[in-house]
C-alpha cells in the first residue's frame, strides 16, 4: 500500500489555509464594549459553533492524513527490513563466491 502523495499534496494548501484562517479568527477580538443584547450573544455563539465545526473538520482531515502517513511508514519499514535481508544474503553469497574464486 503506497502513500497517496497526490491527495496529500493536493489537500495541504487547503489545510494550511484553514489553519491560518482559524488562527487569525482566534487572534482577532472584538473591540469595544461587551455585547449585552440577546441577538449579539446569539450571533457570537453561532460564530463559535461554526468555528468549532471548522476546527473539528480540520482535525479530522489532519488525522486522516496522519493515518495515511503512518500506514505508509509501516509499509516502508517492512520493505526496508526485507531489503536488508536480501542485501545480507547477497553479501554472504558474494563472499562465498570470492572465497571459492581464491581457493580455486
Q: Which ranges constitute the DSSP H helices of the chain? A: 5-27, 38-103
103 — phi, psi (to 5°)? -85, -15
Question: How far is 20 from 27, CA to CA, in rounded Å?
Answer: 11
Distance CA 75, CA 1 (A): 7
| pLDDT tens digits, 47-81 | 889 989 988 888 888 888 888 888 889 999 999 99
- Predicted pLDDT at 14: 77
Q: For residue 30, what is the DSSP state?
A: -
**Segment 83-98, tens digit of pLDDT:** 999 999 999 999 999 9
CA 80, chain centre distance (Å): 21
Task: Enumerate residues 6+ apart whose C-beta is below 8 A from 19.
Answer: 58
Amino acid at each position: 500500500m503506497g502513500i497517496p502523495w497526490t491527495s496529500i499534496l493536493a489537500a495541504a494548501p487547503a489545510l494550511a489555509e484553514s489553519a491560518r484562517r482559524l488562527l487569525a479568527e482566534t487572534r482577532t477580538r472584538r473591540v469595544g464594549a461587551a455585547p449585552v443584547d440577546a441577538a449579539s450573544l446569539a450571533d457570537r455563539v453561532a460564530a463559535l459553533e461554526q468555528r468549532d465545526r471548522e476546527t473539528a473538520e480540520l482535525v479530522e482531515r489532519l488525522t486522516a492524513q496522519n493515518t495515511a502517513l503512518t500506514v505508509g511508514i509501516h509499509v516502508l519499514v517492512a520493505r526496508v527490513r526485507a531489503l536488508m535481508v536480501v542485501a545480507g544474503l547477497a553479501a554472504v553469497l558474494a563472499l562465498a563466491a570470492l572465497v571459492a574464486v581464491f581457493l580455486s
